[in-house]
Amino acid sequence: MKTIDNFDFKDKKALIRVDFNVPLDEDFHVTDTNRIEAAKPTIIKILEDGGSAVLMSHLGRPKGTKNPDMSLSHICDTISEVLGVKVKFVPDCIGPEVASAVSALKTGEVLLLENLRFYKEEEAGDRGFAEQLSRWGDIYVNDAFGTAHRPHASTTVVASFFGKNKCFGYLMAGEIKAIEAVMKTGEKPVTAILGGAKVSSKITIIENILDKINHLIIGGGMTYTFVLAQGGKVGDSICEPDKTDLALSILEKARQKGVKVHLPVDVVAADHFSNTAKTRVMPAAAIEEGWQGLDAGPKTLEEFREVILQSKTILWNGPVGVFEMEKFAAGTIAVGNYVAEATKDGAFSLVGGGDSVAAVKQFGFQDQVSYVSTGGGAMLESLEGKTLPGIAAILEND
């Protein structure tokens, strides 16, 4: 796998695809700088080599129109603060104004291009648009894992214009290695913790990882489809009654492959979906009418703890309860503590997927696990066994 460590960037311009699709408040201030901070090591390495950096990214979904609310000019100062380097900005990503700005770029300088998605050709993967982007660098660096599953001009097509002068940034390399550590090289026992609302949204992941894992912990809303499939009563819990056959087939496949499935045995049930609801602990397979399961119960968490602490490799994708409500966050916090404890004892832990990443950050576990993925959709597609176009484009002719 070719990374920026394979190149000397002295007197070279690096064209870097970053993922600076960051949240902004109503005054266009960045409210979460994680994605910028994640790209910093790659950019700094290039500058310290004696190179310069041309950054390209998208922001929001302008759908091919030049929407000033989604201009990357809003985040230029924040990028400068994070990098500790004054970042220049050019209000376009192709054309003579960009050519002039790139030409004037000196060693150690950083130039930020305008939002790529102001051009519909970006998402269309237009080859002509990609060729124009390719003019802005001597070496192409893809460090945008969050968009690696998109065959866009800047993430995939542009790489074809650089021959062997293309590589992964540190962030991309880290993501690829973390997923490989779970899917290929992970020390056993390997445990996957899958939460979230729907079995249907996780089916391809489950089917793809069954050959790689020893334990499958199922939590969150998915629980109740499995419970219903096995003849249990789920009350008013979220459920996919039309997916019970699918749930049973997953259990059977797991049995055939020797994977032990751990489903909740008890849950924290509520009389309505609210932080002010009355709550009771009920057996997971005997939830009363008018009640709904919203978090893992105490006996369940004891069992989960035992499994997680004996694991050497852990994948966590999805919370085990409605952690957004304080009343139903205890289960997800407990799982976070178990994963952190296992990691401290030498396990490798990968957390990915929007909700689990949000939970890990909200409850302060990000520094207590081995790796927190920055790419929701990209990571999920990797776990499904798909080759991401942004990764394949770098590996071609490598």
Annotated binding site: 19-21, 35, 58-61, 117, 150, 202, 293, 324, 353-356
The DSSP code for 106 is: P
Task: Please identify which residue in the block is written with the tokens 């199922």.
Answer: 218
Measure Cα distances from 34 to 17, 37, 179, 227, 357 in Å: 16, 5, 20, 38, 12
The DSSP code for 326 is: G
The DSSP code for 69 is: G
Measure Cα distances from 68 to 36, 63, 92, 130, 349 in Å: 21, 13, 12, 23, 40
The DSSP code for 7 is: -
* Catalytic entry in 127, 198, 305, 361: 198
Residues 6+ apart with CB under 8 A from 296: 219, 264, 266, 267, 268, 304, 320, 321, 331, 334, 335
Task: Please identify which residue in the block is written with the tokens 């700094």.
Answer: 44
- E strands present in 204-363: 215-218, 233-234, 260-262, 266-270, 279-283, 286-287, 292-296, 313-317, 348-351
- Is 377 tagged catalytic? yes
- Is 135 tagged catalytic? no
Write out the binding residues for substrate: 19-21, 35, 58-61, 117, 150
* Catalytic entry in 64, 108, 232, 377: 377
- Is 127 tagged catalytic? no
DSSP 115-163: -GGGSHHHHHT-HHHHHHHHTT-SEEEE--GGGTTS--TTTTGGGGGST
Residues 6+ apart with CB under 8 A from 140: 14, 15, 17, 134, 158, 159, 161, 162, 165, 166, 167
| Residue 372 to residue 384: CA distance in whole angstroms | 18
* Catalytic entry in 64, 108, 354, 385: 354
How does strand 292-296 pair with strand 266-270? antiparallel
Tell me the residue type at 190. Answer: V
Write out the binding residues for ATP: 202, 293, 324, 353-356
- Is 385 tagged catalytic? no
The DSSP code for 40 is: H
- E strands present in the chain: 13-17, 52-56, 87-90, 110-113, 139-142, 166-168, 190-194, 215-218, 233-234, 260-262, 266-270, 279-283, 286-287, 292-296, 313-317, 348-351, 371-372
Active site residues: 35, 198, 354, 377
